[in-house]
């Protein structure tokens, strides 16, 4: 069944009302996966009574660093063994210069994987915007509910009762 979303818009001064709307949605039987708050600025965590988001971001740089280190090792050791040219009487596998490139590889891997992790853990890219209002960028606070179409009218009612000014609907993916 296609999911539909609804957005209730609160003004910048209605922070408490937006929080009340989140509580009312929970009381009305909507799960935390079904509703969320949208803001144009980062508010302190828990401002709207939302739960602390769980993520595994810290695994990404470690994985990336390990991959980068391995690539750096293969690149340096592999290329020197493939073309074993003695330079200045030094060993073919000369550790200090290898360490430099392996270090850069490790850091590059960690950074690239962290970026990928940040984007994916942020649930991006998001193809279907669902119910959204451009006024959120101007300071309005949006409380959005994404659920089965038959549960949308009840969500609208809850948002209205909590004091939402405008209420808009939008489509989501299946």
Partner 1 sequence: MQDHVQLSQTKINDDLLAGVLGMPKWWLPTVVFLVLVIFTGLGAYGYELNKGLGVSGLNRPVFWGFYITNFVFWIGISHAGIMISAILRLTQAEWRRPVTRAAEVMTIFALMAALSNIMFHVGRPWRLFWVYPYDFSRGIFMNIRSPFVWDPSAVMTYLIGSSLFVYVALIPDIAVVRDKATGRFAPKIYGVLCLGWRGTPRQWRLQAIAGILLSALVLPVFVSVHSIVSWDFAVAIGVEGWHSTIFAPYFIIGAIHSGVSAVAMIMALAVWLWKLDKYLRPDHFDAIGRLLIVVALTWFFFFFVEWIFALYTLEGPELALREFQVFQAPNKWLFLAFLLTAFFIPVPMWMFKRVRRSPMLMFLSTILVNVGMWLERFLIIIPGLARRQPLSFDWGTYNPSIIEILIVLETFAFVALGMLLFAKFFPIIPIFDMKEGMEVREEIKIGRRVVPASIRETP
Contacts with partner 1, residue ranges (CB under 8 A): 12, 36-45, 48, 50, 52-53, 55, 57-58, 61, 75-76, 79-80, 82-83, 85, 87-88, 90, 94, 97-98, 100-101, 103-105, 107-108, 110-112, 114-115, 118-119, 121-129, 132, 134, 136-139
Q: Closest approach of Cβ 136 to partner 1, in Å?
A: 6
The distance of closest approach from Cβ of residue 28 to partner 1 in the complex, given in angstroms and rounded to an integer, is: 20
- What is d(CA 6, CA 8) in angstroms, rounded to the nearest whole number? 7
Please state the closest distance from residue 27 (CB atom) to partner 1, in A: 20
Report, in Å, the least distance between residue 90 CB and partner 1: 7
Nearer to partner 1, 29 or 58 (CB): 58
d(CA 39, CA 141): 5
Q: Which is nearer to partner 1, 28 or 75 (CB)?
A: 75
Q: By C-beta, is 150 or 174 nearer to partner 1?
A: 174
Assign 145 to helix, strand or coil.
strand
Using CA atoms, how far apart are residues 173 and 128, in angstroms rounded to an integer? Answer: 7
DSSP element (H, E) containing 157: helix 152-162
Question: Is 48:60 a contact under the CB 8 Å cutoff?
Answer: no
User: Tokens standing for 130?
Assistant: 């669902």
Q: Quick one: 2 or 85, whose CB is closer to partner 1?
A: 85
Q: Could you tell me which of 146, 149, 152, 148 has the C-alpha nearest to residue 130?
A: 146
């Amino acid at each position: 069944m296609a999911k539909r979303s609804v957005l209730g818009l609160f003004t910048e001064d209605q922070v408490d009302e937006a929080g009340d709307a989140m509580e009312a949605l929970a009381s009305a039987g909507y799960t935390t996966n079904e509703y969320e708050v949208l803001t144009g600025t980062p508010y302190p965590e828990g401002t709207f009574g939302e739960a602390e988001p769980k993520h595994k971001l810290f695994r990404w740089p470690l994985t990336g660093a390990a991959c980068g280190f391995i690539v750096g090792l293969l690149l340096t050791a592999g290329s020197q063994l493939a073309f074993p040219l003695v330079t200045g009487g030094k060993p073919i596998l000369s550790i200090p210069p290898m360490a430099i490139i392996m270090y850069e590889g490790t850091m590059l891997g960690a950074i690239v994987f962290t970026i990928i992790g940040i984007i994916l853990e942020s649930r991006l890219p998001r193809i279907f915007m669902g119910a959204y209002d451009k006024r959120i960028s101007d300071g309005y606070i949006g409380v959005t509910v994404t659920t089965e179409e038959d549960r949308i009218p009840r969500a609208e009612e809850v948002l209205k009762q909590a004091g939402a000014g405008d209420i808009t609907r939008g489509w989501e993916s299946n």
